[in-house]
Structure 1
Amino acid sequence: MDVGTIGAGAVAQAVARHLVAAGHRVMLSNSRGPASLDEVVAGLGPLASAGPVAEAAAADLVLLAVRWSDVPAALAGAPAWNGRILVDATNHVLGPTVADLAELGDETSSEFVARHAPGARVVKAFSTLYGSYIAADPRHADGRQILFCAGDDAEAKAVFQRTFDAVGFAPVDVGTLREGGRLMQVGGGPLSALHALRQD
């Protein structure tokens, strides 16, 4: 599968490393341009590349991993989604602590993301885990790292789950962007920052 990232920080690099190891091609992008990612791409290996946001966002599956304040601008640089899968790894945190949250009104953060990416099939994932848990080998002696996900499109969630199950995570579907998104949401969701293993 061809995967792109919008954002190339610690979370995007960690996910890219797992995907490349599983044989997927990954194109990373950020707001500073492909040349700023030369060292990162070299470290990930030949299946990794860097490109502009518009090119990375044309992949079959796209990971959104940018600061909350950058979400609208980052998504504005993407081509028409036409049903491609957008994995939302963001949290609506504005400041250095999780106490500084953006006002969302009645929306969940992933509903906000979906509104800014019309035509995308959005899957909420990775946002409940600290970066160190994402970067680590998801296979542990005591089980596999549980990876919660939510979304409104069953097929998109199934593709996501198959992809990351093969990588080594244990995906768990917690519902829609509205109901599951609330469970996963930072600032009150009971699954936020929950680290758990599945014993297979």
Structure 2
Amino acid sequence: MSYAIIGFGKLGQALAKAFARSGIEVSVATTRDPESFASTTAAIGPEILPKTLADALKADIIFLAVRFESYRDVAKALPSWKGKTLIDVTNAYGVPPEELGGQPSSKFIAQAFTGARLVKGFNHLVAGVLDQDPAVKGGKRVVFLASDDDGAAAEIATLAENLGFSPIKLGGLSEGGLLVQARGNSWGQLIFKDLIKFD
């Protein structure tokens, strides 16, 4: 299984650190030349590989960690997303619900990524928290996952565990997804909730 993070702002870098901590290789891309952020990836760890967008999109599992308004540019980079699992880490805060056709933002985004299996996840924590080691006082930091594809949700739950997190599945995008998505100028009930799960 191969992994990529598209977007290398604070959230993208926090995700990259989670991969580095776990010793799992991940490609990182932006719309910029990989050389422009190679020193940042090197500082995080040898597992973080700066790539062009085209090369990064060859991965099986892709984190969409760009600004919400940039998702279309990424979607256009492939003619078909069949066979890809996309983790939507975006937040549509400030985007009027009418612009999304009244749908949850991830359901709206999914329409642009034809054929992809989409999971909403890793977006409810601010970058400064996601950046930290998820092992806390004998427990593990929780990440919420929502998807209309149970197989994709299970796949990303396994990845979350491999990255040291404790995944909690919230169900489909229209139900559980709303708990971790912004709607207009309000946040879902689970956004910013930094929870630790103890086994």
2:18 equivalent in structure 1: 18
TM-aligned CA deviation for residue 45 of structure 1? 2.3
1:31 equivalent in structure 2: 31
Alignment size in residue pairs: 194
Question: In the TM superposition, what whole-angstrom CA distance separates every residue of 1:15-73 from its partner, at most 9, and x where no partner exists?
Answer: 11211332322111001221111112211222221112122122011000111111111
1:43 equivalent in structure 2: 43
State the one-letter code of the partner of 2:111: R
TM-aligned CA deviation for residue 78 of structure 1? 3.3
State the one-letter code of the partner of 1:150: A
TM-aligned CA deviation for residue 111 of structure 1? 0.7
> 1:8 touches 1:29 (CA, 8 Å); kept in 2?
yes
- Counterpart CA distance in 1 for 2:187 and 2:90 is 15
TM-aligned CA deviation for residue 188 of structure 1? 4.0
TM-score, with structure 1 as normaliser: 0.91
- Counterpart CA distance in 1 for 2:122 and 2:76 is 22
- Counterpart CA distance in 2 for 1:50 and 1:102 is 34
Q: Between 184-193 and 158-167, report the one with greater CA deviation.
A: 184-193
Q: Give structure 1 stretches of 5+ with no counterpart.
A: 94-99
Q: Give structure 2 stretches of 5+ with no counterpart.
A: none
2:129 equivalent in structure 1: 133
> 1:2 touches 1:24 (CA, 8 Å); kept in 2?
no
Spell out the pairing of 1:1-200 with structure 2 (5 A cutoff).
1-78=1-78, 80-93=80-93, 100-103=94-97, 104-141=100-137, 143-186=139-182, 187-200=186-199
State the one-letter code of the partner of 1:64: L
- Counterpart CA distance in 2 for 1:133 and 1:75 is 28
TM-aligned CA deviation for residue 79 of structure 1? 5.2
TM-aligned CA deviation for residue 142 of structure 1? 5.2
CA RMSD of aligned residues (A): 1.5
Higher relative CO (Cα under 8 Å, sequence separation at least 6) belongs to 2
